[in-house]
Structure 1
Amino acid sequence: MSKYTSFPDPMEDPNPFQDPAVTQHSSNAGYATLDLYNPFDNNAAPPPPYEATSPSAPSVPAQTPPSSKTTTPTEPRNYGSYNSQTAVNATTAELLKKQEELEQKAKELERRERELESHALGAGASRQNNWPPLPSFCPVGPCFYQDISVDISQRFQRTVTIMYYFWMFSTCTLLFNLVSSLANFAVDVHGGIGLGLAILWALLFTPCSFVCWYRPVYKAFRTDSSFNFFAFFFVFFAQVAVDVIMTIGIPGWGFSGWIVSLATLKTSVPVGAIMMINAICFTAQTAMGVVMLKKVHSLYRQTDASFQKAQAEFATGVMSNQAVRQAAANAATGAFTAPR
């Protein structure tokens, strides 16, 4: 092992040209070198071909499998149809959700801007009434101002809009009840009392329902008024009770409910069918009234309204009325100046 691990004497100066690899390469006569080839010699033969001393198999560069494809930076990569489609759907849903949120914020900002513009008229100025939308040639003008998108917060706009449509549906049902009572009177002369009461109910319930329960719920959500909330609950509960009576259809009460409709069906099938449609409308009105009563009550519990605030609002409203204050002052003056 010593001959493989022995080192030359450091004083020796080895000759690099005496290396066996170099001497073997130079001793090959068939190898073409610059010393053996003169390009300017016309009589010289062409240089001999190159012959390697130890021929080896040529290295073949690794070829890319035909199945793999090199993509360029600008070429879209295919990560799989299912995963890519799922990612695209998720991104689209997220963008749509963000767009919807931005649209809601834009509507809210627009509503607040319009509200500020309306309040910028001044403390003594009032907004012009726009309901009911009567034509200009009508001698009677609108009685109320109503704009749900301006007055009502976006959180409660849907509920107030449904209540408005519910009032319209109740009005249409009463008008259809008038038509069905008229048809019943055409086949039964004893139905005159029901026809008269149907006319009375249509003329009475239509404006009273708007003033007594729709306007209170509108003002309750507009100003977060506890008094208007309690007024709505009291009147609307009575409205639901009347709807139940309408659905039953007691004979002689002017309501085309189930009892009157089934009784008329034995006399006249067409008239009975019309009255049954009216009974179905009364049933839907009652069910929708119960649902909306629970809906408004759940929203009321989420606000700061309370019975104590309702009492305070009532006292403040009564004392701020000019007529009430004048009557109270007159009564106090009369009691003070009365002879004893």
Structure 2
Amino acid sequence: MLFIALSGCGNGDSMESFGGPTMGSTYSIKYVRTQGLPAPKVVQAEVEKILADVDRQMSTYRSDSDIERFNDLPANRCQTMRAPILELVRVGEQLSLQSEGSYDLTVEPLMNLWGFGPQAREEKIPSPEALATAMQRIGYTHLRIDGDQLCKDAAVEVDFNSIAAGYSVDSIAATLDSMGIHNYLAEATGELKAAGKKLDGSPWKVALEEPRDDQQVAERIINVDGYGVSTSGDYRNYFEQDGRRYSHTFDARTGAPITHNLASVTVINPSALMADGLSTLLLILGPVRGWDYAEKHNIGAFFVIRADTGFVTRTNQAFERLSGGKTE
């Protein structure tokens, strides 16, 4: 939902880039290589190690991942977990508390029921009885961390898809910094973080897409330096029935996809992890509650709202400040 606007050329130093598949999508890294910095193949090996670790720990699409082994456990069981998983569970709990339960990491049974999850069979509106049964397995309050163990008192299933990519980008950014690479743009599945400048000294530019499922059209171009950027939207993964759109984004309190007219939200934040989670949270809350939440918590947010005549955009002062203002 984000794509990178690159321009300019340098002299002396070189711009390096590489990428590949990850998390059912792709990743890409661009960085300015100066004398003494590692070769791209060395950097790529470190980046792909991070992505492989995240996949092995957090993927809901492989049965041997740490989180899927936990998801297979019955109620009232615990499993020893690595620190990154426990960190993301704590972040998820924070976002759930702040959204009064609308955001929730345990929505995987709902995703499967409505046809969007890893075990989905068909995109369809579930029966009230099936929905009520699934809701018995929803709720972040059923999770508990005990030392290095993650425990559950109901047969809940954890889904990190709303924050795992942001976590990956933060981890990649920290690794690049540790290798002496301070001018880079790191992106995974559309979540990104940029720091420093491009080869010609100009800022990294990121184009925010118009929320369309037929083509890529830049709605806005922003400058990014030292921040993570994430966009969440309802326009890429949905189905329609009886003239109504059903998105893959759920409000855990209702057990149903969002139905308001907020098409997408972009968040800019020092942490790509928090940008990732907050963009989902704001999308769930919608154009009114989400906007009020962003203002209350000083979150840089860019809203794209459906209207009869097309799309209407709304951005707050925090977003303008962090993105360097309009660049068109």
TM-score bin, normalised by smaller chain: under 0.3
- The structure where helix makes up a greater share of residues is 1
Larger radius of gyration: 1
Return the TM-score normalized by structure 1: 0.23
Greater relative contact order (CA < 8 Å, ≥ 6 in sequence): 2
Return the TM-score normalized by structure 2: 0.24
